[in-house]
Structure formats: structure tokens, C-alpha cells
Structure 1
Amino acid sequence: MAGVVLGGAAAAWLFRAALVALSRGALRRSLRGAPLTACFGMLVIALYLGVAILAPLLAPYGERAVVTVQFAPWSADHWLGSDHLGRDMASRLIYGARNTVGIALATTALAFMVGTTLGLWAAVVGGWLDGALSRAVDVLMAIPSLIFALLLLTIFGTSILTLVLVIAAVDATRVYRIARAVAQGIVVMDYIEAARLRGEGGARLIFREVLPNAAAPLVAEFGLRFCFVFLAISALSFLGLGIQPPTADWGSMVRENATLITFGDVTPLLPAGAIALLTVAVNFVVDWQLHRASGLRE
């Protein structure tokens, strides 16, 4: 364990040195002061993105190809053995990075686009619009998110498009509350009043005045929200209502191969470990960004 920690710290230090060497100006000064935990998180995120983009080149077999017998052991031909249908586990783990992370990223982006727009709009306009949107969001947030998502997916089906829309709709309520709370502290500032007196409309106030000043906490919230969406999609896939087979997905891979744990095989834990590692890495980066946005100094 100590060797793993030291190896991770060394990799993070080298990654930070490379980033500092490649950057300039304020970004360079910021990266030079970044903690090793944040650098480790950025390194892991970069590796995941690289694997997701280059999956067809890195995977030794196709995502859906049946290449050997069921539950084949680890070997030179099949690095992590095979699953319950004889598909190569290493290849499906690599393709799972593209599917799980890509869908989670698209879902988070959609939830943020809807939630942030409505939250800032409610804070700037106020009045009956703010009250109506806030009460609607309160009603939706009163329903447990996982149960609500399971209900909607059972009704509307389990296609990828439906999954993205359902999770985005559920998560947009959380983003709305954060965006509205941040914006309410901004709309009372003098420069907002000056902009109103100049006759600027609501859209210009939102995108030219409020959004740039709310960007720091919202960017940090995006990272946290991505973790929640990522875990929610994995949980739904584990329950059988998320990303459907034969598409490779880390949550469903744990469910499909859970039998191996009974025999002391750790292969089903590898997708779970991949989920946990990315979640920790994103949280490391978010913690650093929140510290920077707070204005605190060591």
C-alpha cells in the first residue's frame, strides 16, 4: 500500500512538472501551487479520457465479440479473463470507459445547461417566475432521486437517450438550486443595478453580468455533479435499468460477473474499482477548485 501511495505521489509530481512546463502566465502560477492530490486527480482524468477516445486502438478485441469460453482465467491472450458469455474482460473494461464516462459527461452537461439557465433566470427576474420554478423544483426534490429515475425508466424504457434525459431532468433540479442561490448573491450588487439602469435585458444580464461572476462555484459544482451522475448511471446499470447489454458498461459488468466473487476472483471488482478511482480523482480536482474559488490562502 505504501508503494502504491508513493508511486501515485511521484506520478502526480511528474505530471504537475509537465503541466507547469507547458503552461504560461496565470495558469502556470496556479498549476505550480496545485496540491499533489489535485495533480493526481487531473492525471487520472486525463488517462480515462485518453482510454475513452482511443478505445478501438487499445482494446485487443471487439466490444461485443465472443472470443473464448465463459469465465476464462487470466492469460496472455486474455489479460483479465472473460465474462459470462466469453467476451474479453479487458476489452470491455476499456470500451466501458468510453460508454460510462461519455454518457455521464453528456448527461451532466445537459443537466447543467437546463438547471443553470433556469436558476439564473429565476434569480434575475424574481417575482412569480422565481416562486413557480422554486416550488416545482421543491416538489421534484422531495422524491428520492433513485426511485424517481427507476420509475421514469420503467415507464419510458431504457434506451441511452431516455437514460440521459431522465438523469438530466432529475439532476437539473439540484443544479437549479445551486445556480439560483449563487445568483441571488450577485443580483443585489451595484454593477447589476447599473446594468439594469442602462436598460440591459434579462438575457444580457444573465450571460454578460451574472454568469461570469458565478462561474467559479458552478464549475466546481459541475465536477461534483458529474460524480453523482456517474455513480447514478452505474447504479442503474447494476440494477438492470441503465446502459443495456451488449454495450459495455462498468455497472452492468459488475452485475454480470458477480458470481466470480464467490470463487475468490477479483475480476468483477475491477469495474467497481474504475468507478471509485474516477470518483476520487474528480473530487480531488473539485476540492482544489473550491479552495481557489474561496479566496483562502494557506
Structure 2
Amino acid sequence: MTSILRAVRRLPISGKVGLVLVLFWIAIAAIGPFIAPYPPGSFANEEVFAGSSGQFWLGSDFLGRDVLSRLLSGARFTVGLSAVAVTIAVCIGTGFALMAAVGPRWVDELLSRAMDTLISIPSKIFALVLVAAFGSSLVLLTLIIAITYVPGNFRIARSLAVGLVRLDYVEVARARGEGRLHLALVEVLPNMIKPLFADIGLRFVFIVLLLSGLSFLGLGLQPPDADLGSLVRENTSGLAEGALAIIAPAVAIASLTVGVNLLIDAATQGKAR
């Protein structure tokens, strides 16, 4: 605990701002639906695109639903789904990278060429094709988004793993007869974790933006579920009025991604120093 507090104190102002934003959205994702003043799907106000008031802090949307309640509920899907997707992408990509680094040459060539092929396809186009082919249920959407970002993580993880495999302590472990699984999980992986943290944060930001983009196009979460991108899409008719129903979720997406970027940048600079 003391070391964590010491690390937080060493962060620059931008890093502390990023940390506050990240912790805020994690808390909202965890408890948001439980503190929402109204059920997210209830028609609480007869006036559509109403402004802020004591009863409706962020106004109402195009159907008269409470924007704050829907925002608190939508944040859980955006943060939770993105966190699960980035975990899957990193586990698969890093696992393949370790196989390529410690396995036979042909395994490295096969995996590298396959990932090069996938990464040559723009991520949004790749995700759109998969969503159109297999649908956008919660589970499928999570898997599709995760698969989209496996190649990028694989390239970063492989470059780290290949460099570590050539070091003396790994050669010593190989000389004393350790198997490839031991080399990958005990000798190489622990020394990759810290450099991978920055990539994990960036993948999370990319996934949040991709999920929001898919939802804005109507290919993300389907009603009655809604993430932050869905909230922007369904209230676009209020843009001319400057309705909070469209401004609030857009600001939420921006603050989440900016917060993660600020924290990553500060943490990376701290390690560099």
C-alpha cells in the first residue's frame, strides 16, 4: 500500500488527473446502475430533450428518459465490455507471442504471417465485417472486438519476448533442461508485464472508441441495452438544440479515453526516468 501511495505521489499533475478520471469511471461502472435515480428504460419525463433541472440533472432524452440514469447504466457496458475485450485480446496475443518466441522457427513464421495478414485489414472494417456476419450479441461483440486487436498486441509482445529469449538467463534455463512452457511462463513472461502495461492501456482506449463507433453506426449493443456510443446515436436529433442527452455521453467517452491516455503517458515517462 505504501509503495502504491509513493508511486501516486510521484505522478505529475497530468497523471494524477488521469488517475482520478480512470478511478471515477471504474467506480461508475461498478455502482452506477445501483445509484441511478430512475430505471434506465423508464419514461420519466413528458418533455423530450429537456434541460438540466433539480429532478433531472442531465435532462431527458428523445423519449423522455432520464439521461443521468441511462449514462450510469451505459458506462457499465462501455467500461466492462472494453475491459473484458482487452483482457481476451492481450491473453491471446501474448500467448501466441510466447509460442512464437520459444517455439520452433516454423511456428514463429506461421503465427507472424497470420497476424501480418490480419493487421493489414483496418480494424473498423474487420470488426464491421465480423459483426455483419455473426451478429452483435453481447458475447459475440466482445469476442469480435477482442479478436480485432489480437494482432497488434501480438506484434508488441513478440518483439519483447524475442528480445528476452536471447538473454543469458534464458539460455542458462534452456541449458539446464527447462521445457518451453517453463521458459515462456517463468523466465520470459514476468519480465514482459511492465512494458506491456502501456500497450494494454492503449488497447483499452482503442476498444472503447471502436465499441462506441460500432454502436453509433447501430452495429454495437442492441436495445434495450445501451453503451455510451448508443446514447450518442439515439439522441442525434437533439444536436441542433445542444441537448445534454447527446453532449453528456460524448463528454463521458472523451473523459474516459483522455484519462487513460494521461495516466499511461505519466506512467511511461516515470519508468523512462
TM-score, length basis structure 2: 0.95
1:253-268 counterparts in 2 under 5 A? Answer: 253-268=231-246
Ranges in structure 2 where 5+ consecutive residues have no aligned partner = none
Tell me, in whole angstroms, the C-alpha distance in 1 between the residues paired with 2:257 and 2:30.
19
Q: Tell me if the contact between 1:51 and 1:58 (Cα under 8 Å) persists in the aligned partners.
A: no
Q: 1:106 aligns with which of 84, 87, 95?
A: 84
* Residue in structure 1 matched with residue 15 of structure 2 by the alignment: 38
Q: 1:226 aligns with which of 204, 209, 214?
A: 204
* Residue in structure 2 matched with residue 11 of structure 1 by the alignment: none
What's the CA shift for 1:266? 4.2
* Residue in structure 1 matched with residue 63 of structure 2 by the alignment: 85
Tell me, in whole angstroms, the C-alpha distance in 2 between the residues paired with 1:93 and 1:209.
44
Q: 2:179 aligns with which of 193, 196, 201?
A: 201
Tell me, in whole angstroms, the C-alpha distance in 1 between the residues paired with 2:78 and 2:164.
36
2:232 pairs with 1:285: no
Which deviates the most, 165-174 or 79-88?
79-88
Tell me, in whole angstroms, the C-alpha distance in 1 between the residues paired with 2:264 and 2:29.
21
* Residue in structure 2 matched with residue 63 of structure 1 by the alignment: 40
What's the CA shift for 1:73? 3.2
1:1-298 counterparts in 2 under 5 A? Answer: 23-24=1-2, 26-69=3-46, 70-294=48-272, 296=273
Q: Tell me if the contact between 2:83 and 2:204 (Cα under 8 Å) persists in the aligned partners.
A: yes
What's the CA shift for 1:30? 2.6
Tell me, in whole angstroms, the C-alpha distance in 1 between the residues paired with 2:178 and 2:208.
39
Tell me, in whole angstroms, the C-alpha distance in 1 between the residues paired with 2:126 and 2:236.
26
Q: Tell me if the contact between 1:63 and 1:247 (Cα under 8 Å) persists in the aligned partners.
A: no
Q: Tell me if the contact between 1:141 and 1:173 (Cα under 8 Å) persists in the aligned partners.
A: yes
AA of the residue aligned to 2:77: N
What's the CA shift for 1:37? 1.1
What's the CA shift for 1:225? 0.6
Q: Tell me if the contact between 1:118 and 1:176 (Cα under 8 Å) persists in the aligned partners.
A: yes
What's the CA shift for 1:154? 0.5
Ranges in structure 1 where 5+ consecutive residues have no aligned partner = 1-22
What's the CA shift for 1:291? 2.1
Identity %: 45
Tell me, in whole angstroms, the C-alpha distance in 1 between the residues paired with 2:34 and 2:124.
35
Any idea what SS the aligned residue of 1:268 has? Answer: helix
State the aligned residue count: 272
Tell me, in whole angstroms, the C-alpha distance in 2 between the residues paired with 1:160 and 1:31.
35
TM-score, length basis structure 1: 0.88
Give CA-to-partner distance per residue, 1:195-220, whole Å, 9 cap, x none.
10111111111111111111111011
Any idea what SS the aligned residue of 1:186 has? Answer: helix
Tell me, in whole angstroms, the C-alpha distance in 2 between the residues paired with 1:162 and 1:255.
21
Q: Tell me if the contact between 1:63 and 1:248 (Cα under 8 Å) persists in the aligned partners.
A: no
Any idea what SS the aligned residue of 1:38 has? Answer: helix
What's the CA shift for 1:75? 2.2
What's the CA shift for 1:188? 0.4
Any idea what SS the aligned residue of 1:185 has? Answer: helix
What's the CA shift for 1:29? 3.5
Tell me, in whole angstroms, the C-alpha distance in 2 between the residues paired with 1:291 and 1:76.
43
What's the CA shift for 1:288? 2.2
Q: Tell me if the contact between 2:11 and 2:267 (Cα under 8 Å) persists in the aligned partners.
A: no
Any idea what SS the aligned residue of 2:245 has? Answer: coil
Tell me, in whole angstroms, the C-alpha distance in 2 between the residues paired with 1:247 and 1:110.
22
RMSD between aligned residues: 1.4
1:63 to 1:265, Cα distance in 2 relative to 1, 3 A: closer
What's the CA shift for 1:95? 0.9
What's the CA shift for 1:245? 1.7
AA of the residue aligned to 2:233: R
The list of structure 1 runs, each at least 4 consecutive aligned residues, that deviate by more than 4 angstroms after superposition, is none
